[in-house]
Structure 1
Amino acid sequence: TDERFQATVTAVEAELRSGPTVYRYHRDDGLPGGEGGFHLCTTWLIEAYLLTGRRAEAEELFKHLVDCAGPTGLIPEEFDPVTERALGNHPQAYSHLGLIRCAQLLDQH
Structure 2
Amino acid sequence: MKLEGEAKLLRVFIGEADKWQGRPLHEAIVAEARARGLAGASVFKGFEGYGAHSRIHSLKILQLSEDLPVLVEIVDTEEKIRAFLSVLDAMVQEGLVTMEKVEVIRYSPK
- Report TM bin, short chain: under 0.3
Greater length-normalized contact order (CA 8 Å, ≥ 6 residues apart):
2
- Greater helix share, 1 or 2? 1
Q: Rg: which structure is higher?
A: 2
- Greater strand share, 1 or 2? 2
Q: Provide TM-score, normalisation by structure 2.
A: 0.27
